[in-house]
């Protein structure tokens, strides 16, 4: 993600002034080289975030390091305290006021004290939040909002295939599911963001997890194994958020091994007067994740100081250039 975003930033006229990486293979390399550009940018990758912040005084830091608050908190905080705006792809921090209220309030306060803004974006900004919010604006009444998202475990690799419990027996899955201490699902924080953008007020948030079983023997390319019929090929998180306005929002997100006939799914429906449907096909989630973040940068720089969840930002817009 970091390399693709670096390329998009350069192609849209931004100046990259520094780069930080954790991976030893990237240290000392030129960002233009890492980003697949045809020329060096004269900026090499280092590990010393404080030195880079002090020397370069960036307008904004793009942070693509982690999904959850524990990993994000210290790194966002030091950037805000150094007077830099921050934009991230962190899924929990898309709307972390309910899942991690204390840390969220501290980041909000630090941003205000330093007169800078922190925000998160990515694929979910458009496809799980704002397209749905705009469609909801064409409804007279809404009882339910239901999202259906499916992605292919084989698009990601070994680590995620194991996290999705691919190859487990039903009994092994049940044991794992009963004991798993999982962080907040991406569905939960996306729905809470959608609730905020739609001007609703959340009550309860719940998550249920159901295994998906192979209906025929199925090859998992990421693991290089055949999952026998009846064993686990992934699972579905079913997140539900209820609201004071009696609108109930549900998102079913399935990460599983696809058959050759399956493709990524993003389908959202509202039920009320009238019923509404929105479908995106031919999804390119890596690209839209990076492009959406880049298009959001002027919004974040222009926003009021603080932790700017999506409800605090203007409508997402295409940008030909950042210059």
Shortest gap between Cβ of 194 and a copy of itself (angstroms)? 11
**Is there binding between residue 139 and a copy of itself (CB under 8 A)?**
yes
- Cα–Cα distance between 234 and 175 in angstroms, integer? 15
**Is there binding between residue 319 and a copy of itself (CB under 8 A)?**
yes
DSSP code of 237? E
Contacts with a copy of itself in 174-203 (CB under 8 A)?
A: 197-200
Interface with a copy of itself by CB under 8 A: which range of 30-38, 111-119, 227-235, 281-289? 281-289
Nearer to a copy of itself, 181 or 277 (CB): 277
Nearer to a copy of itself, 208 or 262 (CB): 262
Contacts with a copy of itself in 90-129 (CB under 8 A)?
A: 123, 125-127
Dihedral sign of CA atoms 164, 169, 170, 176 in order: negative
**Is there binding between residue 133 and a copy of itself (CB under 8 A)?**
yes
Shortest gap between Cβ of 145 and a copy of itself (angstroms)? 9
Q: What backbone phi and psi angles, to 5 degrees, belong to 6? A: -60, -45
**Is there binding between residue 281 and a copy of itself (CB under 8 A)?**
yes
Shortest gap between Cβ of 22 and a copy of itself (angstroms)? 25
**Is there binding between residue 11 and a copy of itself (CB under 8 A)?**
yes
- Residue 318 vs residues 33, 80, 115, 153, 299: alpha-carbon distances, Å: 27, 26, 26, 30, 11
Shortest gap between Cβ of 138 and a copy of itself (angstroms)? 4
Q: Among 24, 42, 137, 224, which residue sits at the site for a copy of itself (rule: CB under 8 A)? A: 137
Query: Are 202 and 195 in contact, with CB atoms under 8 Å apart?
Result: yes
Shortest gap between Cβ of 251 and a copy of itself (angstroms)? 17
**Is there binding between residue 291 and a copy of itself (CB under 8 A)?**
yes
Shortest gap between Cβ of 33 and a copy of itself (angstroms)? 20
**Is there binding between residue 136 and a copy of itself (CB under 8 A)?**
yes
Q: How many binding residues for a copy of itself (CB under 8 A)?
A: 50
- Cα–Cα distance between 233 and 105 in angstroms, integer? 39
Give the three-state DSSP class for 223.
coil
- Cα–Cα distance between 161 and 262 in angstroms, integer? 17
Angle (nearest 5°) at CA 46 between 44 and 49 = 125
**Is there binding between residue 263 and a copy of itself (CB under 8 A)?**
no
Strand order in the sheet with 60-63: 60-63, 85-88, 117-120, 306-307
Shortest gap between Cβ of 134 and a copy of itself (angstroms)? 5
Query: Are 26 and 58 in contact, with CB atoms under 8 Å apart?
Result: no
**Is there binding between residue 25 and a copy of itself (CB under 8 A)?**
no
Q: Among 85, 130, 185, 231, which residue sits at the site for a copy of itself (rule: CB under 8 A)? A: 130
DSSP per residue, 187-241: HHHHHHHHHHHTT--EEEEEEEEEEEE-SS-EEETTTTEEEPTTSEEEEEEEEEE
Which residues does 96 contact at the CB level (< 8 Å), separation at least 6? Answer: 69, 103, 104, 189
Whether the bond between 274 and the residue before it is cis, its omega within 30 degrees of 0, is: yes
**Is there binding between residue 288 and a copy of itself (CB under 8 A)?**
yes
Interface with a copy of itself by CB under 8 A: which range of 19-27, 71-79, 222-230, 274-282? 274-282
Give the footprint of a copy of itself on this chain (CB under 8 A).
8, 11, 123, 125-127, 130-131, 133-142, 197-200, 245, 247, 273-282, 284, 287-288, 290-292, 294-296, 314-320
């Amino acid at each position: 993600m970091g390399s693709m975003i670096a390329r998009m930033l350069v192609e849209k006229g931004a100046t990259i002034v520094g780069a930080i990486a954790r991976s030893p293979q990237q240290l000392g390399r030129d960002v233009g080289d890492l980003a697949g550009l045809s020329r060096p940018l004269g900026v090499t990758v280092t590990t010393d975030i404080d030195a880079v912040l002090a020397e370069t005084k960036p307008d904004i830091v793009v942070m693509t390091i982690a999904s959850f608050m524990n990993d994000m908190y210290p790194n966002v905080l030091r950037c805000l305290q150094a007077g830099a705006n921050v934009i991230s792809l962190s899924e929990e921090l898309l709307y972390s006021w309910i899942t991690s209220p204390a840390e969220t309030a501290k980041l909000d306060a630090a941003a205000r004290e330093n007169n800078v803004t922190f925000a998160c974006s990515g694929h979910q900004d458009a496809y799980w939040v704002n397209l749905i919010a705009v469609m909801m604006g064409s409804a007279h009444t809404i009882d339910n909002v239901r999202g259906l998202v499916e992605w292919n475990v084989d698009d990601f690799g070994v680590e995620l295939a194991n996290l999705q419990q691919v190859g487990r027996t039903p009994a092994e899955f049940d044991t794992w599911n009963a004991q798993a201490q999982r962080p907040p699902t991406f569905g939960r924080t996306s729905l809470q963001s959608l609730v905020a953008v739609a001007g609703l007020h959340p009550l309860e948030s719940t998550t249920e997890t159901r295994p998906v079983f192979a209906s025929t023997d199925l090859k998992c390319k990421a693991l290089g194994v055949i999952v026998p019929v009846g064993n686990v090929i992934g699972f579905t998180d079913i997140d539900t958020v209820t609201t004071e306005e009696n609108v109930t929002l549900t998102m079913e997100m399935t990460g599983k091994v696809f058959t050759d006939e399956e493709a990524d799914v993003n389908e959202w429906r509202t039920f009320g007067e009238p019923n509404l449907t929105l479908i995106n096909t031919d999804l390119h989630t890596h690209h839209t994740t990076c492009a959406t973040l880049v298009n959001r940068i002027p919004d974040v720089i222009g926003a009021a100081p603080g932790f700017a969840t999506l409800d605090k930002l203007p409508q997402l817009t295409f940008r030909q250039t950042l210059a």
